[in-house]
A and B are shown apart, each in its own frame.
Chain A
Amino acid sequence: MEQIVETKDLTKTYNGFTAVDRLNLTIKEGEIFGFLGPNGAGKTTTLLMLLGLTEPSSGTVQVCGYNPTREPLKVKSIVGYLPEKVGFYEDLTARQNLSYTAELNNLPRREAAERISELLATVGLSQVADQEVSTFSRGMKQRLGIADIWVKKPKLAFLDEATSGIDPEGIDDVLKLVKSMGKKGITVVFCSHQLHQVQEICTRVGILAKGHLVAEGEIDRLGRRTIGGGRYRIEAQVAQLKPKLVDSIKEVKGVMEVQVSGNSLLISCDKDLRGQIAKTIVDSGSLLLGMKIEEYSLERIYKKYSKEA
């Protein structure tokens, strides 16, 4: 995969305060990248620099092969941005709002009209397409925001806290749309505090703290580095624990580590091996009382890096 975003020592200082400090970030084409960090970590400032809306104090940035500071229009014509508090003209309908975006993107009127109808159907707003946006819920506005990004057929989309303030159903809708963006080949940078959402849809993450990128990579790899062991942790409660059971489980392909804690076995592995492990326990003559599986929690990874920062 080619790099679609690359920053080198990117720095932004506002009135003596360094919001982003020597950021070296790489985002590959086609991935859904989770951009994490506490409030004030510099996520939005970074996005604004990537869009050419804010000039970096120092360092370099390349987005889709263009320098956003020198070629902002080229970048903005292929990059979509959904701000945290997305706003639309409340007295215009959803269709009229998108038509205006299409006009700003110089799309021919007929092509724009067809595309807007398709997009409104994609985001589930066909039935309210001709209603004023003032009647929309926040979730509907976020979906309209995603359609607004899609109007320009972007290569890259920045979604800044796209799910904040929406009800659970609305969140599901937005996450599905983000996934479908990814499937359609759009690279997505997804900024969020909702770590389980990031874990659900993102392939790689970057953690920003106090303007520094403290971690970047695939969630598995970060988890292994931070927490150790494999991606999954299986806890099996066993009665009549046989002495050879631990050795038998260790022989199961994919098992990385086995620990005994009272009647519980803590097994670290790369895949979901619950079936094989259960069979091994039963075959050994031990009694399996219960079993649960845990994946690396992004929350744990995030907390660790944030704390270190």
Chain B
Amino acid sequence: MYAVFRKEIADHLSSKRFGILFTLVLLAAMFATYVAVQNIRSVVTVDTEFVFLKIFTTSGETLPSFLSFLSLFIPMVGIALGFDAINSERASGNLSRLLSQPIYRDSLINGKFLAGLAILGIILASVIALVSGLGLRIVGVPPNSEEVLRLVAFVLLSIIYGAFWMALAVLFSVFFDRTATSMLASVALWIFFFFFVSMIAGAIADARVPIDQNSSVEMVTKNFEIEGMIGRISPCALYGEATSALLTPELGSLNMALMWISTLTGRMLTPLPFSQSLLLVWPQVVSIIALAAICFAVSYIRFMRREIRSI
């Protein structure tokens, strides 16, 4: 498997696709950092405990934060790394030649997946490190140990989230013969999860518990609960919640209603220690890991059971 892994890493690193993705993510990150630095004064007070983390979460009036940019780009990177993993080998006539070499069949899919994961890790870790470095230089406030821990957790979570999208793209590359179809299917699912699930969740919540400006707190809470529960079928929502909790320690709960109330009353909740934030996001993290594992397991089983002639 190591030979496959090595070859895939070399292929990725020398490919134009990697160059484009890396440049795109880097540009977005730089842009988001610039926006954060421009606006950070308005969100930081003398009492603010985690100034360094604000680099990642501060947005402009119209421009999104680094976190929002990353939420958008991670699925793209994951899909780009996996959508043609198997079907391109099949289409080029390489698959049967490769499998006739003394390697187990699963070495191919495992090697490809691990190489993709490594590349994902390289892209995300280096971009986040660059943004941190840039932020440190401009803001001039070094991160404390808890902020470093939160950033490490954020990197790991982002890699896991990217792994989910890559596993999904690999799954489609096993099921569909054409690379264009597998890419389209992956992008379609991303659009559904990213844009439509929140809309559907909002519509269902409003249909079940309609609210307006005069609605009671109880009604609003119920509405938000329904919306939050339905929204969590989307891995994008799970990632959004988890990263928000990790990078915003003041976020003491993922309960939308509670957040709404605290915003309404102008009271911020007490910052949670890292261990508590981790506990808070644990269900989201486990769900994303489970989704990635399911996608990979299904593609693994399908790839292993398919007859070579139809592979």
Residue positions of A touching B, CB distance < 8 A: 14, 44-45, 48, 51, 53-54, 72-74, 76-77, 79-83, 85-90, 100-101, 103-106, 145, 148, 152
Interface 1/0 per residue, B95-130 and A, CB below 8 Å: 111111111100000000000000000000000000
On whether the beta carbons of B307 and A104 are closer than 8 Å, the reply is no
**Known contacts A45-B309, A76-B103, A87-B92; 4 further A-B pairs (Cβ under 8 A):** A83-B97, A83-B100, A88-B97, A104-B101
On whether the beta carbons of A104 and B309 are closer than 8 Å, the reply is no
A residues in contact with B102, CB < 8 Å? 73-74, 76-77, 104-106, 152
On whether the beta carbons of B308 and A89 are closer than 8 Å, the reply is no
Q: Roughly how many angstroms separate A103 CA and B101 CA in the complex, as a whole number?
A: 10
On whether the beta carbons of A81 and B92 are closer than 8 Å, the reply is no
Query: Which single residue of chain B is at the shortest CB-CB distance from A12?
Result: B307
Q: Roughly how many angstroms separate A204 CA and B252 CA in the complex, as a whole number?
A: 80
- Taking the closest CB of chain A, its distance from the CB of B8, in whole angstroms, is 11
- Taking the closest CB of chain A, its distance from the CB of B99, in whole angstroms, is 6
On whether the beta carbons of A83 and B96 are closer than 8 Å, the reply is yes
On whether the beta carbons of A104 and B97 are closer than 8 Å, the reply is no
B residues in contact with A100, CB < 8 Å? 3, 7
Q: Roughly how many angstroms separate A104 CA and B6 CA in the complex, as a whole number?
A: 11
B residues in contact with A54, CB < 8 Å? 307-309
Interface 1/0 per residue, B289-310 and A, CB below 8 Å: 0000000000000000001110
Top 10 A-B pairs ranked by shortest CB distance? Answer: A87-B93, A81-B100, A77-B102, A87-B92, A104-B101, A87-B94, A85-B93, A76-B102, A103-B3, A53-B308
In-complex Cβ contact of B96 among A14, A81, A88, A152 (8 A): A81
Q: Roughly how many angstroms separate A74 CA and B104 CA in the complex, as a whole number?
A: 11
Which of B4, B98, B101, B309 has its CB near the most chain A CB atoms (within 10 A)?
A: B101
On whether the beta carbons of B92 and A104 are closer than 8 Å, the reply is no
On whether the beta carbons of B307 and A83 are closer than 8 Å, the reply is no
- Taking the closest CB of chain B, its distance from the CB of A139, in whole angstroms, is 15
On whether the beta carbons of A87 and B104 are closer than 8 Å, the reply is no
With contacts A48-B309, A103-B7, A104-B3 taken as known, whether A76 is within 8 angstroms of B94 at the C-beta atoms is: no
Interface 1/0 per residue, B68-108 and A, CB below 8 Å: 00000000000000000000010011111111111110000
On whether the beta carbons of A101 and B101 are closer than 8 Å, the reply is yes
Total A-B residue contacts, Cβ distance less than 8 Å: 68
On whether the beta carbons of B93 and A80 are closer than 8 Å, the reply is no
B residues in contact with A48, CB < 8 Å? 308-309
B residues in contact with A74, CB < 8 Å? 102
Query: Which single residue of chain A is at the shortest CB-CB distance from B91?
Result: A87
On whether the beta carbons of A89 and B103 are closer than 8 Å, the reply is no
Residue positions of B touching A, CB distance < 8 A: 3-4, 6-7, 11, 89, 92-104, 307-309
On whether the beta carbons of A76 and B7 are closer than 8 Å, the reply is no
Q: Roughly how many angstroms separate A68 CA and B178 CA in the complex, as a whole number?
A: 31
A residues in contact with B4, CB < 8 Å? 104
A residues in contact with B100, CB < 8 Å? 51, 53, 76, 79-81, 83
Q: Roughly how many angstroms separate A119 CA and B64 CA in the complex, as a whole number?
A: 57
A residues in contact with B93, CB < 8 Å? 83, 85-87
Q: Roughly how many angstroms separate A140 CA and B6 CA in the complex, as a whole number?
A: 27
CB<8 Å pairs between A and B, sample of 16: A45-B309, A48-B309, A53-B96, A76-B102, A77-B102, A81-B96, A83-B97, A85-B93, A88-B94, A89-B92, A100-B7, A103-B6, A104-B4, A104-B101, A104-B103, A148-B97
A residues in contact with B104, CB < 8 Å? 72-73
- Taking the closest CB of chain B, its distance from the CB of A116, in whole angstroms, is 15
Query: Which single residue of chain A is at the shortest CB-CB distance from B15?
Result: A91
A residues in contact with B101, CB < 8 Å? 76, 101, 104-105, 152
A residues in contact with B7, CB < 8 Å? 100, 103
Q: Roughly how many angstroms separate A309 CA and B96 CA in the complex, as a whole number?
A: 30
On whether the beta carbons of B99 and A89 are closer than 8 Å, the reply is no
- Taking the closest CB of chain B, its distance from the CB of A53, in whole angstroms, is 4
- Taking the closest CB of chain B, its distance from the CB of A194, in whole angstroms, is 20
On whether the beta carbons of A104 and B308 are closer than 8 Å, the reply is no
Q: Roughly how many angstroms separate A77 CA and B100 CA in the complex, as a whole number?
A: 9
A residues in contact with B95, CB < 8 Å? 87
Query: Which single residue of chain A is at the shortest CB-CB distance from B14?
Result: A91
On whether the beta carbons of B3 and A14 are closer than 8 Å, the reply is no
B residues in contact with A152, CB < 8 Å? 101-102
- Taking the closest CB of chain A, its distance from the CB of B261, in whole angstroms, is 57
B residues in contact with A103, CB < 8 Å? 3, 6-7
On whether the beta carbons of A89 and B3 are closer than 8 Å, the reply is no
A residues in contact with B96, CB < 8 Å? 53, 81, 83
- Taking the closest CB of chain A, its distance from the CB of B11, in whole angstroms, is 8
Q: Roughly how many angstroms separate A121 CA and B307 CA in the complex, as a whole number?
A: 36
Q: Roughly how many angstroms separate A106 CA and B3 CA in the complex, as a whole number?
A: 9
